[in-house]
Amino acid sequence: MRARNNLEAPNRVLGKRPSAAVRGRKVAAGCGASTSKMARKAVAWGFFGLWVTAMTSSAPAADSAEAPASTVHPQLWPSPTWPFATDPALEARVQAIVKTLTLEEKIGQVVQADIASVTPEEARKYHLGSILNGGNSGPGGDDLAPAPKWLALADQFYAASIDKSGGRAGIPLMWGTDAIHGHSNIIGATLFPQNVGLGAMRDPALIEKIAAATAVEVRTTGMEWTFAPTVAVPQDVRWGRAYEGYSEDPAVVASYTGVFVRGLQGEPGAHDFLRSPHVLATTKHFLADGGTDQGHDQGDARIPETALRDIHAAGYPPALAAGVQTVMASFSSWNGVKLAGHHGLLTDVLKNRMNFGGFVVSDWNAHGQIPGCTTTSCPQAINAGLDMYMAPDSWRGLYESLLDQARKGIVPQARLDDAVTRILRVKVRMGLFEAGPPSKRPLGGRFDLLGSREHRALARTAVRESLVLLKNQDGLLPLKAGQKVLIAGDGADHIAKQCGGWTLTWQGAGLPNTVFPGATSIGQGLRAAVTAAGGQVELAVDGKYRTRPDVAIVVFGENPYAEFQGDLAYLQLRDGNDGHLEIMRRLRAAKIPVVAVFLSGRPLWMNRELNAANAFVAAWLPGSEGAGIADVLLRKPDGSIAYDFHGRLSFSWPRLAVYDAHKSGQPGYNPLFPLGYGLRYGQQGDLPPLPEESGADGASDQNGVLFSNGKLGSAWRLSYTDERGGVQPISLVPSTVAAGRVRVTRIDRSTQEDTLRFEWLGSGLAGVQLDSRQPFDFSRETNGDVALVLDMRVNKVPTAQVEVGMACAEPRCAGSVRLDSALSRVPAGSWQRVAIPLKCFANTGADMQRITTGVSMRTAGSLDVAISRVALGTESDHVVACAR
Ligand code: BGC
Ligand code: BGC
């Protein structure tokens, strides 16, 4: 048996990089993959004639022995037509502006700040070219601020930016937002299915309408730019962002990206191109964000150039041909080189070979990950071809350093001018100089269009089309009208769960139905449809019915997550997320037929559920219009079928919870359900019993869970420290350690002995901590505003200073936060989630890239606390304030 540690996200453990031999094998396997794909693509891209010729010419081999693995060969890449001929009037206008700009004004144009960290006055003072709202940012610090507040803030930033006093150039700024499944940061917006569901529709015409509706909603709140579409081609769905991709099949992705961009931006050359009702689009994340080793978010794609081009770049030529105005450079690396600093890919390939005439924006502080850079200083990025830095909280330092680097010539004048020119070209092209304040533009303030009936109908159509039927024993579906229907499972009436990440907040977790006005939960939709057709409904999340039903619908699945927080070691639901299985088995045993409705951002190992249910529907993350499910599941009262299933898998469905690298078209490809699979009504939908061994030799640990359900995360050990600072393991619980200072016992919170209780008796400095022998890299989490969250109950408030810390093995590498005042303020005797932002530890000296002490708690006084969970997260009841 393989050691569990080796499988669990080994990538984030330092010093455990695969050997060159292993890497070599991977690359070779990738090569095979790309050759078979290449033939397909040659047809799909035939119209970019140049590329086909290049492939057959005697150009140097992409992975020739001499070239470093991350060297590009631009001549091997497609060369799509950028749909704008040089426009002398536009060029003259842009040049005239650039000539008048001061160096400060030029630097300002290439810096983008987040509204959580910049005021309109600062944006004016620093001449910022752009702002964004990150997933957790909102007007006045309120993520859930109503639409008019967003528009008012847009007006304030706009007004500040155009101030021409004192000879300022007064260039209007642009506001970028992640409208990734609808205008998904805004309360009341239409929330379309996430991309994984849209991929299952195989309906480019509908995709264009969805994009157009999204653009309209974005305009109502005053923004003019969305960081969408994601054109990733996820190859390993352990990746926490797999749901942001349409498909593992490059052809499906390519069939969507051009139309999506056209829906958002309009038709190049048309009078309303990039103007209201349209917005700027971004294709992201360039490149191979979906090709990283083990699906590790922000990781390294160790693949040959041909795979980069044929698989991961597939979405770009159609998007470029549609005139996409911005491209976002990926957080990730290609063969060890960070994309945000990759001259070959950003400049030689994207701009020079692929004719991209817009501008390249970086991802959230991604430039800080380039070797030699920090978030506040990184000339390497602009010199590699980046045009705008997304510097959410680091913008001021970055502005200062860029100014200095430009003065010293470290950033050449010509490169800076080119970046500014590219940005201004877009601003001129979109009519920003003439647009006036956001609220005065055609759709500004038209909040009636936000979540409008028409847009919701479109989303509901998309929900219907995206559902994939995987099992339908004895034709159980569609359900007859007039039956007694039980609706169960924790997804039955849970709108946030059906929406997934990037919904109102970054992670999208923990939001009540009340923050989704106008939306419909799946259960509400079913209830309305069943009762309208003369049936009866009982909704019981735990499946415990009062009236025996004729049939049960169990809605369950993944809880929301975004980015690396969704990375998995195994393709299975996370720990503590399988109550649904018990419900399904119980109903089955009572001879009640079960329809499983699975909510997820990706296919997961579902053999047990497929066995337990009579019918199984993959519903992905359908968004705000849960009624689309009932549309397909229920017959009309006259017995006819209202809507047949339409969706087909855009990702292969795994046979085991262990990742299988074989892809469609390759020998050895043997998924449970292949790419393109999906039953229709009337087709035989029985399945033989499936084996219930997952192949995973451990629980699917959530990354960053140190302690939960009474168990320590696999890497973590419990220890204590005494007055002299010595660290000793605590191998036995209950026990009293540190010369009688600390008593450790197990108590029950929800289940037997799931909680540790620590009592500090007597006096003298002593502590307890969780240590790992391997260092963990928590730098992504720190950049992403993640916190260390302790689920705790204070039994006795502290009598002295309490310090919570994180540390690495080396000396002088510890950071800590005082917790005593927080512990004295949280209500004693009740369970609370106390969050300590990781930035607090970083700011006080911890090197977040090599953490070995995941948490320590020390005091010289007395204290009594119970702790049921220690994990990295973003949900809490109290956030501890820390020194900046
Ligand atoms: C994500 C991007 C997103 C940006 C702004 C980043 O962390 O990777 O996809 O557009 O944040 O929120
Ligand atoms: C922001 C997201 C961003 C992420 C980066 C979060 O705090 O809200 O927009 O994508 O950090 O990791």
pLDDT at 699 over 90: no
Which ligand ends up closest to the CA of 227?
1
pLDDT at 93 over 50: yes
Best mutation site among 280, 282, 363 for ligand 1, i.e. most ligand atoms within 8 A of its Cβ?
363
- Tokens 């022998």 label which residue? 773
Contacts of 603 (CB under 8 A, 6+ apart): 237, 571, 618, 649, 651, 652, 653, 654, 673
- Cα(392) to ligand 2 centroid in Å equals 9
Predicted confidence (pLDDT) per residue in 140-169, tens digit: 999 999 999 999 999 999 999 999 999 999
Q: Who has greater pLDDT, 874 or 855?
A: 855
Best mutation site among 282, 338, 364 for ligand 1, i.e. most ligand atoms within 8 A of its Cβ?
364
Residue 28 confidence (pLDDT): 29
β-pairing verdict for 851-859 and 766-776: antiparallel
The answer to whether the beta carbons of residues 837 and 787 sit under 8 Å apart is yes
Mean pLDDT within 845-865: 94
Mean pLDDT within 389-412: 98
Which ligand ends up closest to the CA of 784?
2
Ligand 1, atom 8, lies closest to the CA of 363
- Cα(361) to ligand 2 centroid in Å equals 15
Q: Where does the pLDDT of residue 874 fall: very low under 50, low under 70, confident under 90, or very high at 90 and above? A: confident
- Cα(506) to ligand 2 centroid in Å equals 6
Task: Show the tokens assigned to 349.
Answer: 């390939």
Best mutation site among 178, 181, 285 for ligand 1, i.e. most ligand atoms within 8 A of its Cβ?
178
Catalytic position from the list 244, 363, 558, 567: 363
- Cα(642) to ligand 2 centroid in Å equals 41
The Cβ-side half-sphere exposure at 111, using a 13 Å CA radius, reads 34
Instruction: Assess whether the C-beta atom of 136 lies below 6 angstroms from ligand 2.
Output: yes
Give which of 42, 104, 51 is closest to 73, Cα–Cα: 51
Q: Closest ligand 1 atom to the C-alpha of 133? A: 12
Mean pLDDT within 345-349: 98
pLDDT at 23 over 50: no
Residue 702 confidence (pLDDT): 55
DSSP 144-195: T--HHHHHHHHHHHHHHHT--GGG---PPPEEEE--SSSSTTSTT---PPPH
Predicted confidence (pLDDT) per residue in 210-238, tens digit: 999 999 999 999 999 999 999 999 999 99
Task: Show the tokens assigned to 539.
Answer: 């909704």
- Cα(133) to ligand 1 centroid in Å equals 10
Predicted confidence (pLDDT) per residue in 271-285, tens digit: 999 999 999 999 999
Task: Show the tokens assigned to 281.
Answer: 């689009």
Instruction: Assess whether the C-beta atom of 134 lies below 6 angstroms from ligand 1.
Output: yes
Instruction: Assess whether the C-beta atom of 297 lies below 6 angstroms from ligand 1.
Output: no
Report the mean per-residue pLDDT for the chain.
90
Mean pLDDT within 252-271: 98
Residue 8 confidence (pLDDT): 25
Return d(Cα 779, Cα 12) in angstroms, integer: 10
Mean pLDDT within 34-54: 32
Predicted confidence (pLDDT) per residue in 646-685, tens digit: 999 999 999 999 999 999 999 999 999 999 999 999 999 9
pLDDT at 4 over 70: no
Residue 498 confidence (pLDDT): 98
pTM above 0.75, yes or no: yes
Instruction: Assess whether the C-beta atom of 393 lies below 6 angstroms from ligand 2.
Output: no
Instruction: Assess whether the C-beta atom of 362 lies below 6 angstroms from ligand 2.
Output: no
pLDDT at 704 over 90: no
Return d(Cα 394, Cα 111) in angstroms, integer: 10
Predicted confidence (pLDDT) per residue in 469-496, tens digit: 999 999 999 999 999 999 999 999 999 9
Residue 551 confidence (pLDDT): 98
The answer to whether the beta carbons of residues 137 and 143 sit under 8 Å apart is yes
pLDDT at 13 over 60: no
Give which of 267, 348, 262 is closest to 67, Cα–Cα: 348
Q: Where does the pLDDT of residue 105 fall: very low under 50, low under 70, confident under 90, or very high at 90 and above? A: very high
Instruction: Assess whether the C-beta atom of 785 lies below 6 angstroms from ligand 2.
Output: yes
User: What is the Cα Rg of the chain in Å?
Assistant: 27
Return d(Cα 476, Cα 311) in angstroms, integer: 39
Q: Where does the pLDDT of residue 60 fall: very low under 50, low under 70, confident under 90, or very high at 90 and above? A: very low
| Number of continuous H segments (helices) and E segments (strands) in the chain | 25, 32
Instruction: Assess whether the C-beta atom of 256 lies below 6 angstroms from ligand 1.
Output: no
The answer to whether the beta carbons of residues 707 and 713 sit under 8 Å apart is yes
Q: Closest ligand 2 atom to the C-alpha of 785? A: 7
Instruction: Assess whether the C-beta atom of 647 lies below 6 angstroms from ligand 2.
Output: no
The answer to whether the beta carbons of residues 599 and 192 sit under 8 Å apart is no
Q: Closest ligand 1 atom to the C-alpha of 134? A: 12
Give which of 766, 779, 767, 768 is closest to 851, Cα–Cα: 779
Catalytic position from the list 563, 771, 820, 847: 563
Would you tell me the crossing angle of helices 204-220 and 250-265 to the nearest 10 degrees? 40
Contacts of 514 (CB under 8 A, 6+ apart): none
Q: What percent of the chain is helix, strand and coil (3-state, nearest 5)?
A: 35, 20, 45
Instruction: Assess whether the C-beta atom of 785 lies below 6 angstroms from ligand 1.
Output: no
**Is there a catalytic annotation at residue 563?**
yes
Residue 750 confidence (pLDDT): 79
Which ligand ends up closest to the CA of 228?
1
Instruction: Assess whether the C-beta atom of 135 lies below 6 angstroms from ligand 2.
Output: yes
- Cα(228) to ligand 1 centroid in Å equals 10
- Cα(565) to ligand 2 centroid in Å equals 11
Residue 705 confidence (pLDDT): 86
Mean pLDDT within 101-121: 98
Instruction: Assess whether the C-beta atom of 506 lies below 6 angstroms from ligand 2.
Output: yes
Q: Where does the pLDDT of residue 18 fall: very low under 50, low under 70, confident under 90, or very high at 90 and above? A: very low
Give which of 863, 858, 857, 866 is closest to 757, Cα–Cα: 866
Predicted confidence (pLDDT) per residue in 601-643, tens digit: 999 999 999 999 999 999 999 999 999 999 999 999 999 999 9
Percentage of the chain lying above the pLDDT 90 cut: 81
pLDDT at 703 over 70: no
Predicted confidence (pLDDT) per residue in 509-533, tens digit: 989 999 999 999 999 999 999 999 9
Residue 732 confidence (pLDDT): 86
Q: Exposed (0-12), middle (13-18) or buried (19+): which is 544, by Cβ within 10 Å?
A: exposed
Q: Exposed (0-12), middle (13-18) or buried (19+): which is 31, by Cβ within 10 Å?
A: middle
Ligand 2, atom 6, lies closest to the CA of 784
DSSP 654-673: PSSSS-----TTSTT---SB
- Cα(784) to ligand 2 centroid in Å equals 5
Residue 56 confidence (pLDDT): 33
pLDDT at 37 over 70: no
Q: Where does the pLDDT of residue 57 fall: very low under 50, low under 70, confident under 90, or very high at 90 and above? A: very low
Residue 884 confidence (pLDDT): 54
Residue 753 confidence (pLDDT): 80
Max distance between CA atoms of the chain, in angstroms, equals 82
Residue 754 confidence (pLDDT): 85
Q: Closest ligand 2 atom to the C-alpha of 136? A: 8
Predicted confidence (pLDDT) per residue in 800-838, tens digit: 999 999 999 888 899 999 998 888 888 888 999 999 999
pLDDT at 62 over 50: no
Best mutation site among 298, 362, 506 for ligand 2, i.e. most ligand atoms within 8 A of its Cβ?
506
The answer to whether the beta carbons of residues 389 and 382 sit under 8 Å apart is yes
Mean pLDDT within 77-94: 97
Mean pLDDT within 735-756: 88
- Cα(103) to ligand 2 centroid in Å equals 30
Other CB atoms within a 10 A radius of the CB of residue 550 amount to: 15
Return d(Cα 767, Cα 814) in angstroms, integer: 15
Return d(Cα 691, Cα 607) in angstroms, integer: 7
- Cα(602) to ligand 1 centroid in Å equals 20
Instruction: Assess whether the C-beta atom of 105 lies below 6 angstroms from ligand 2.
Output: no
pLDDT at 723 over 80: yes
Q: Closest ligand 1 atom to the C-alpha of 282? A: 10
pLDDT at 844 over 90: yes
Ligand 1, atom 2, lies closest to the CA of 363
Which ligand ends up closest to the CA of 132?
1
Percentage of the chain lying above the pLDDT 70 cut: 91
Instruction: Assess whether the C-beta atom of 227 lies below 6 angstroms from ligand 2.
Output: no
Instruction: Assess whether the C-beta atom of 564 lies below 6 angstroms from ligand 1.
Output: no
- Cα(134) to ligand 1 centroid in Å equals 7
Return d(Cα 353, Cα 72) in angstroms, integer: 11
The answer to whether the beta carbons of residues 516 and 624 sit under 8 Å apart is yes
